[in-house]
Amino acid sequence: MKKIDMTRGPIMRSILLFALPIIAGNILQYLYTTVDTLVIGNYCDHTAIAAVGTSSQPVEVLLCIFLGIGTGVSILISQHIGAKDHEGAAEACRTAVSFVYGCGIPISILGWFLSPLLLKIMGVPEDVWEQALIYTRIVLCSAMGNIGYNMNAGILRGVGDSRASLYFLVVSCISNIVLDVLLVAKFHMGVAGVAFATGAAMYLAWITSIFYTRARYPELGFTVFPKGFNSDELRSILSIGLPIGLNNSLFSFGHMALQTLINAQGSVFMAAWSISGRVNGIANMAITGISSAATTFSGQNYGAGKIDRLREGQFMIPTAAGVLTLSCGIFFILIRTPILRLFTSDPEVVKQAGGFVIIMLLSQWMYAVFNTISCLVNGTGRVRYTTLINLLMLWAVRIPAAYILSRVLGGNSIPFCFPASFGFGMLCMIGYQLLCPSWKHLLYGSPIGSSAHTAVSV
């Protein structure tokens, strides 16, 4: 499979070639999670939809820190590849494999015991509690498959191979759909069946990614089981990935805090929020793909010392992401009602979800601009500012706005907290591009072609 070298050729062509397989993978992941909701919605009642929707929040909190570390691996490997340091890339891979086992096993065990506490903190209603607990425990017990797959996907993105993850997701998606239908529709296992299907599918994706990486990139020395780690590489991975992971985890914890406010509105509101998220997720497909491409583009060119390309792409890439996201959002707003009716026939749930969809999809373009700029900055190892802005978006803007809006205007106004936080984050990152002295020095003060320093954190 051909790797994409982002240090040469037209910038947007490289970005799109890299992003398209990820976007296709996001479509599969969307199908992956949407089938869960479709099956639950058609074979169970709205409380089951609410249970699956609210249970995803504590799962996200515990897993996101490791997804951030996977991003750190991707950034570090892309820098090694850009600098032609193949030995360093191999050491980073070996360290990442050990890290997966060292963290995945304890999380799988602790997840069983922490689940009731997490759901209690979230104020899950009594009519949803039992199903939410079952789903959360089963998914967290299979967390190692999720962590392993995302870590391996990060490694492959770092070497410039974004297509492989698409094929792994095909395997995962097909198995998830088959198991969903079998366990829920045929054996009537409800949310437990959905949870088992999700866990099994992620393990399949992880195992497939292991054997692919070993066969396709033997120079990385990728192993099935851990064989020690390089302390310097681990330190570099954590110096980049841990702030991103902590940010992601705190961000998800904030979503969990927001979910408590949503839960207080009742199970109908919870179900509407959950299915509207399926439609809103469509807009995120392009964001995720272009953002991943932006991270690799930045890491490879920074590692290669090609600052002129980084300078050229810093406005071009976010603009493309914003335009694409807004266009996609407007299209799905126009067809939102028939899509929502696929999930439930409850007219009140469909009505509330439709309003949520309009608010979110008309504002996602600001998040696209914010996120791609953040990824360009993160690709150079400068993660502190982006971490701070992410936290401020959530804790200083979104959550306070949600609580104020719900008190003053009622629960249906809660979604307006998202445009407020997206706009704040976008303006902060544009300001960083234009005004930050260290960023301006990197782009305009360093000689083009000079050697870059790996894992800078400014």
Q: Tens digits of per-residue pLDDT, 25-68?
A: 777 767 766 777 778 877 877 788 778 777 776 677 667 777 77
Looking at residue 108, its pLDDT comes to 85
Exposure string over 263-280, b if 16+ CB within 10 A, otherwise e: bebebbbbbbbbbbbbbb
Q: What is the DSSP string of 1-31?
A: -PPP-TTSS-HHHHHHHHHHHHHHHHHHHHH
For the chain, give the mean pLDDT: 85
Query: How much is the average pLDDT of 106-135?
Result: 86
d(CA 258, CA 241) in angstroms, rounded, equals 25
Residue 5 lies in a domain: no
Q: 36, 52 in Cβ contact below 8 A? A: yes
Position 357 pLDDT exceeds 90: yes
Position 1 pLDDT exceeds 60: no
d(CA 91, CA 250) in angstroms, rounded, equals 29
Residue 82 lies in a domain: yes
Residue 458 lies in a domain: no
Under the banding of pLDDT at 50, 70 and 90, the label for residue 283 is low
Q: Which residues contact 21 (CB under 8 A, 6 or more apart)?
A: 162, 163, 165, 166, 289
Position 447 pLDDT exceeds 50: no
d(CA 108, CA 140) in angstroms, rounded, equals 6
pLDDT tens digits along 213-231: 999 988 888 888 888 778 8
Percent of the chain with pLDDT over 90: 32
Q: How many domains does the chain have?
A: 1
Residue 427 lies in a domain: yes
Residue 366 lies in a domain: yes
Looking at residue 73, its pLDDT comes to 86
Under the banding of pLDDT at 50, 70 and 90, the label for residue 3 is low
Residue 4 lies in a domain: no
Residue with more model confidence, 82 or 63: 82
Position 313 pLDDT exceeds 90: yes
Residue 137 lies in a domain: yes
> How big is the chain, counted in residues?
458
In 3D space, the residue among 410, 262, 272 whose CA is nearest the CA of residue 354 turns out to be 272
Ranking 246-260, 301-315, 403-417 by mean pLDDT, the lowest is: 246-260
Domain span at 266: 11-445
Q: 43, 216 in Cβ contact below 8 A? A: no
d(CA 420, CA 215) in angstroms, rounded, equals 47
Looking at residue 257, its pLDDT comes to 79
- Angle at CA 294, nearest 5°, toward 8 and 35? 125
pTM, to two decimals:
0.68
Position 322 pLDDT exceeds 90: yes
Q: Which residues contact 47 (CB under 8 A, 6 or more apart)?
A: 127, 128, 131, 267, 271
Please tell me what DSSP assigns to residue 448: T
pLDDT tens digits along 189-202: 888 998 999 889 88
Residue 452 lies in a domain: no
Looking at residue 70, its pLDDT comes to 80
